[in-house]
Each structure stands twice: as C-alpha cells, then as structure tokens.
Amino acid sequence: MTRPSRMDPAQLTAIDVHTHAEVSRTGHPALSSELMAASEKYFAAHGHRMPTIDETADHYRQRRMAAVVFTVDAEHALGHPPIPNEEVAEDCAAHPDVLIPFASLDPWRGRAAVREARRLVEEYGVRGFKFHPSLQAFSPDDRMAYPLYEAIEELGVPALFHTGQTGIGAGLPGGGGIRLKHSNPLLVDDVAVDFPGLRIILAHPSFPWQDEALAVATHKPHVYIDLSGWSPKYFPPQLVRYANTLLKDKVLFGSDYPVITPDRWLSDFEKLDIKPEVRPRILKDNALRLLGLDSG
C-alpha cells in the first residue's frame, strides 16, 4: 500500500502534539539508563519498548492520527548526548502523512543554538522546538536563552516548554539533580511578554502550578496548554473547566507517547465532562491552526 506523500487533515481523527523519540537509529537512548528507569517507574511503564520513529509512524497511521515528535537536548546539564535533531527530522520526513518534526536545542549552547535553529527550520523542515527547563537546568526567563527565543519567533514556529513535575529522576537521590523550580509555568510569562509573536505551548497539567498555567494562558494570546503526561481522569477540575470555556481554542491533545499511549489517553478522555463541541477542538482543530496545517 502506497503511503500518502503529504498530510491530509480531513482524514485525521486527532493530532497528538507531544510524543518522544526515545532511541536513535543506532540504538542510542535519549536519556541515561538511570533516568529512563526512574521515568518508567514513575509512569508504571516498566519494561516498555522504545519505539523507533518508523514504529511511531505506524502506530499513529493505524489510528488515523498525526503526531509531533521530538527529543530533548540536555547535554550541558546531564552530560548525555542527545538524539540528533537532523535524524528526527529526516525520519519524520519519511512519514509526512502522520509525523510532524520538532527539534530541541540546549540554550546553554548560545549562538551555536541560534544558528542551528535557523538551519533546522530552513533545511530540515522542523516545525517547532521543545524545551525542558528542569532537564536543561535553566530558568525560562533567563536572558541567556533570549537570542534563541528571538530566532524561533522570527522563524514563525512554536516553542513547547515542559511544565510541572517530571517523572525523569523521580525517586533518585536528589531527584537525579533535576530541579523542579525551573518548570514553573509562571517563568514562561516573561517569555510571552518579551516575545509577543512567539507561539508557546505549556506542556502537561502543570502540577503543582496548574493555576499559574491557566493564568498565563488566559492572559497571553499566544500561550497554549497541552494535556500530555497525565491520564485525563486525573485532570484537576479547574483545568477541565477552563478547557470547556475560556481556553477551548487553546488546549491541545497530547499523550506523552510512548510512556502514555494515545489509546489509554483517549479512552479516559472519552469519560471526561467535555462539551461535545469542544472535543474536536482539543483533539485536532486547535493543533491544526497552531501548527499552520489548516491552510495546507
């Protein structure tokens, strides 16, 4: 069967804006074995397979879904080389009907990261950038990262920030050296002020700062929230209330695949008290607009 050469939004049932490339073509993992084991324990995903990008594409194609795919470059803080962004982009490009490549750049790389951002968008078709402040050991409002944000804003693609607690390092001595404070969504408010044209996604229900995330997203017109990393049955009530009302056009489906599968997430989302007219916005329409896929 011949795969489509481009994405057809009309044929998609959903767009998952938060999935991970966990292993490279050569078998190199995105995280050290110690941090990966802690994450698996946190998510009760013991022994889960790390799918290749090709396998991720098959998984989503079978479900008539598209997925944003990224890794995390935190080499400065963790000393662990990342999966190359070029590889993620090339492997996603082999599946343009279902995969959308994001990149990750360590802001500690300074001007080199700025040059890389431009090259990845212009030469590799990257559609956005992922930041994990706790893993990358920086505060989102640190002016050190501002040249990179400026480049991403000029390139016209979104920046996705991990917010809230993380399962990576959970239970290890000192949390594996990972500082949760960097992932307070209120720290992204300065970014939204200083780069008003930058589209920002606050990833995850932001425990223990859910109200801060809701405040920033309602106040800043280009700030969105993705719902990944949690089963919907555990969503705090204020998140559900805002998703149904003030943020109905700014909330996005995300699973955190492979540690949380889209099947599990969608099954629990079906039971959530979300208005019928809001469901398609969360599952697909908001992402289409944010990622510029609604115009082809």
- Tell me whether residue 295 is in a domain: no
CA nearest neighbour of 12 among 277, 262, 236, 265: 262
CA nearest neighbour of 62 among 97, 33, 18: 97
- Tell me whether residue 165 is in a domain: yes
Helix (H, G, I), strand (E, B) or coil at 30: coil
Q: What residues does 69 pair with on adjacent strands?
A: 19, 101
Span 43-50, average pLDDT: 67
- Tell me whether residue 262 is in a domain: yes
Answer whether residue 49 shows pLDDT above 90. Answer: no
Q: Count of alpha carbons within 13 Å of 162, Cβ hemisphere only?
A: 31
Distance CA 161, CA 281 (A): 21
- Tell me whether residue 255 is in a domain: yes
Q: Which residue has the higher pLDDT, 43 or 78?
A: 78
Helices vs strands, H then E, count in the chain: 13, 8
Phi, psi of 132 (to 5 degrees): -130, 85
Answer whether residue 1 shows pLDDT above 60. Answer: no
How many domains are contained in the chain?
A: 1
How does DSSP classify residue 173? G
- Pick from 35-39, 75-79, 164-168: least confident: 35-39
Answer whether residue 5 shows pLDDT above 90. Answer: no
Residues of the domain holding 86: 9-290
Distance CA 38, CA 8 (A): 38
Q: What is the CATH number of the domain that holds 22?
A: 3.20.20.140
**Is the torsion defined by CA of 150, 151, 155, 156 positive or negative?**
negative
Q: What is the value of pTM for the model shown?
A: 0.95
Residues of the chain with pLDDT > 70, as a percent, come to: 94
Q: Which residue has the higher pLDDT, 32 or 97?
A: 97
- Tell me whether residue 94 is in a domain: yes
In tens, the pLDDT along 158-193 reads 999 999 999 888 888 999 999 999 999 999 999 999
- Tell me whether residue 4 is in a domain: no
Answer whether residue 231 shows pLDDT above 90. Answer: yes
Distance CA 291, CA 296 (A): 10
Answer whether residue 3 shows pLDDT above 90. Answer: no
| Contact partners, residue 277, CB within 8 Å, separation at least 6 | none
In tens, the pLDDT along 275-289 reads 999 999 999 999 999
Binned at pLDDT 50, 70 and 90, residue 41 comes out as confident
Among the residues of the chain, which ranges form H helices? 33-42, 53-62, 75-78, 85-93, 111-124, 133-136, 146-155, 189-194, 210-219, 237-244, 262-270, 279-280, 286-290
Binned at pLDDT 50, 70 and 90, residue 35 comes out as confident
How does DSSP classify residue 174? G
Answer whether residue 213 shows pLDDT above 60. Answer: yes
In tens, the pLDDT along 219-230 reads 999 999 999 999
Mean pLDDT for the chain overall: 94
Distance CA 133, CA 74 (A): 9
Rg over CA atoms, the chain: 17
In this structure, are residues 121 and 101 in contact, taking their beta carbons and an 8 Å threshold?
Answer: no
Edge-to-edge order in the sheet of strand 99-101: 14-20, 65-70, 99-101
Helix (H, G, I), strand (E, B) or coil at 274: coil
pLDDT score for 45:
61
pLDDT score for 230:
95
Binned at pLDDT 50, 70 and 90, residue 210 comes out as very high
Distance CA 40, CA 172 (A): 13
In tens, the pLDDT along 85-103 reads 999 999 999 999 999 999 9
